Amino acid sequence: MALPPDLPAEPSERVAYLVDVLREHNAAYYERDAPTIPDADYDELARELRRLEEAHPDLAVADSPATATVGGAPSAAFAEVVHRVPMTSLDNAMDVGELRAWGDRTARKVESLGLDPSAVRYVCELKIDGLAMSIRYEGGRYTQAATRGNGRVGEDVTPNVAGIDVVPKQLSADADEAGAPEVVEVRGEVYLPLDAFEALNASQEAAGKPRYANPRNTAAGSLRQKDASVTAERGLMFWSYQLGEVVGGPEVETHSAALDWLRTLGFPVNPETRVVDSLDAVYEFCAHWTEHRHDLPYEIDGIVVKVDSLAVQSALGFTSKAPRWAIAFKLPPEERTTLLRDIAVSIGGKGKATPFAVLEPVQVAGSTVGLATLHNEDQVALKDVRPGDTVIVRKAGDVIPEVVGPVLAMRPPDSQPWVFPSVCPCPHRSPLVRLEGEAKHQCVNIACPEQRWGRISHFASRGAMDIDGLGEKQVQLFIELGLLNNVADIYSLDFERILEHRGYKETSVNKLRAAIEASKQRPLANLLFGLTIPHVGSSGAEALAEGLGSLQELMDASEADIAAVEGIGPTIASAVVKFFANAENRTLVERLVAAGVNTQGPERSTLPQVLAGMAVVVTGGLEGFTRESVEAAIKARGGKSPGSVSKKTTAVVVGNDPGASKLTKATDLGIPVLDEAQFVHLLETGELPQ
């Protein structure tokens, strides 16, 4: 979001305005755990105030929220704790240019101290998106935990932090043998892992309550529960990253040595922390995690870079607010505020009507966002977003952008709740129906042109007929050229017409022709999934293909026969019978059969069902298997081959270039990890390695 349009032009008034606004946002974030704007918008306001203070030093206030204060006032609901060593904040680098500028300044300052800049090492740490915490131990025993507060005075949350499993209540045996320090204060971050966050939101939705906005705010709210038993149930975690007051501890000369000592005491230290020998290595580390931030099972919003030598840290010193020897490199913001211009409805391949937000374009997570999903009527009502609102938009990596909620303080006075439309936006203006017990609305007219593009794109997609070269853009083009009206038209495409279109050459057309021909040999389950039969997903399609054996048997089966198939219930059975009872659908299927698509189900496996009841996840490429054959090998032996790791997973097979998130989750859950040789042994025997 740009700076507010009502920001005064005169410098003194502008400074006063920004000071008031930033103080209010600090109170909302640090004291009420209910921020009204994303971090990126706050940073923009703070940077504008900092710029004005530099240009007009006489206007700077002593307790400027941009340059002089940290956090917010401690809550009156908790006792106050005075930090023996202040908890300072960090200056931010918003891009690589600012990070390099900090690096250059640090190198010059080090050189001015008579030191060799090339000998300085740096520690790079992930900046966890959570709540800063100071935990105190006396004689090796846990005695107190306090929030950052305003940096000097925090809130006493001792019983709440005691409920976090990974926080030691007694320092480790190794530390006791060496003599527990008289006092040690450990600084770190309390955070909420993504799986715990999703579990909480699932509970919220089941209870008909609004979803929590993000893990950071949920962690802060969970920690500040007056009932500490509620905090203990939330699944909070902790990473340690700094020492505060230490009495009687060992002499350490570097920050990395301090982290090593924290590990010996029993504190969790983030495993992605790295010590590097140059600023170029710092920049490489930051670039890596900018790209891979979503491989982690928790959220990060930046990288913290610190000079490793404590002596050099001391020589570099502090500004009024932050250390000169450290900086926080901020990752591209994943939440921003912008104007919600309108709410419209799109019609998907199966007729599902999905509301979406039409936004004033805004940069989020490195890309421009102008549209964002609103999911369904219930979510719009739950979030209470309305055209004309200023809304918070979130986009995490490749995830579709979504509207988190409105900024109520900026809502227009004449605002009215949005009402879901009753008819489809297509020329037929067919009714939009919401079936009992379902959250979605649906256009029930299969002739709806809004559905045509979605149905054909889905049919050609990887999980269905997997027609390479017939993606969403190509489908749209062929519809506009009058070459495609339904999925059966794929097998009678006029390739001469395609060749006449600018941008298509004979080589690409021949590849498309070959891909379409190859799709005729896809398994029956792929065809059934591609037909967009209501309620029939990929697993349901497999069950139908295996249970009834052929397309003709399925089309002739009664509702009772279909419902008797393992994994198929009455809802799917009813939907299948209704689909094939429709004359237009049967005509469509007959055209596909005439085109030569495979209509026979898989042969019954004669292999021993040694993997019955097992769920085996494969990540990365295996030398002896293709992607399709490895899945088929598991299923042929009675096992399941899901695409994600969960508590129900039996084993994870790791090949070349595995997905980091799957491997991390398997390790966290204690699930056996197998190489290719061990996987082959599992297929042969059903036995996991000892």
Residues annotated as catalytic are 127
SS (H, E, C) 69-121: CCCCCCCCCCCEEECCCCCCCCCEECCHHHHHHHHHHHHHHHHHCCCCHHHCC
Phi/psi for 688 (5° steps) reads: -85, 150
Written as one letter, the residue type at 480 is: E
User: What tokens were used for 143?
Assistant: 């005695």
User: What tokens were used for 263?
Assistant: 């590990």
387: nearest Cα among 369, 401, 406: 406
Residue 126, H or E segment: strand 122-128
Burial (0-12, 13-18, 19+ Cβ within 10 Å), 130? buried
User: What tokens were used for 144?
Assistant: 């107190």
466-469 long-range contacts, CB within 8 A, separation 24+: 466/519, 466/522, 466/526, 467/512, 467/515, 467/516, 467/519, 468/511, 468/512, 468/515, 469/508, 469/511, 469/512, 469/515
> Residue 48's CB: how many other CB atoms inside 10 A?
18
User: What tokens were used for 63?
Assistant: 């307790």
**Rg of the chain in Å (alpha carbons):** 30
- E strand map for 292-434: 300-307, 326-330, 335-347, 352-364, 367-373, 390-394, 402-406, 432-433
User: What tokens were used for 138?
Assistant: 């006396």
| Reduced DSSP (H G I as helix, E B as strand, rest coil) percent helix, strand, coil of the chain, to 5 | 40, 20, 40
Cα–Cα distance for residue pair 130/241, rounded to 1 Å: 13
Q: In what order do the strands lie in the sheet with 141-147?
A: 141-147, 131-138, 183-191, 237-247
Strands 92-93 and 326-330: parallel
Yes or no: say if 87 and 134 are a contact pair by the CB < 8 Å rule: yes
Distance of CA 72 to the CA centre of its chain: 28
User: What tokens were used for 579?
Assistant: 């689909």
Cα–Cα distance for residue pair 534/37, rounded to 1 Å: 40
Cα–Cα distance for residue pair 535/518, rounded to 1 Å: 27
Q: Which residue has the tokens 């940077």?
A: 47
DSSP 173-239: HHHHHT---SEEEEEEEEE--HHHHHHHHHHHHHTT-PPPS-HHHHHHHHHT-SSHHHHHTTT-EEE
Phi/psi for 328 (5° steps) reads: -110, 115
Continuous H helices in 492-537: 495-500, 506-519, 524-530
Q: Which residue has the tokens 């899901």?
A: 642
* DSSP letter (8 states) at residue 595: H
393: nearest Cα among 414, 429, 368: 368
CA angle 345, 394, 391 (to 5 degrees): 65
Burial (0-12, 13-18, 19+ Cβ within 10 Å), 434? middle
Cα–Cα distance for residue pair 579/585, rounded to 1 Å: 7
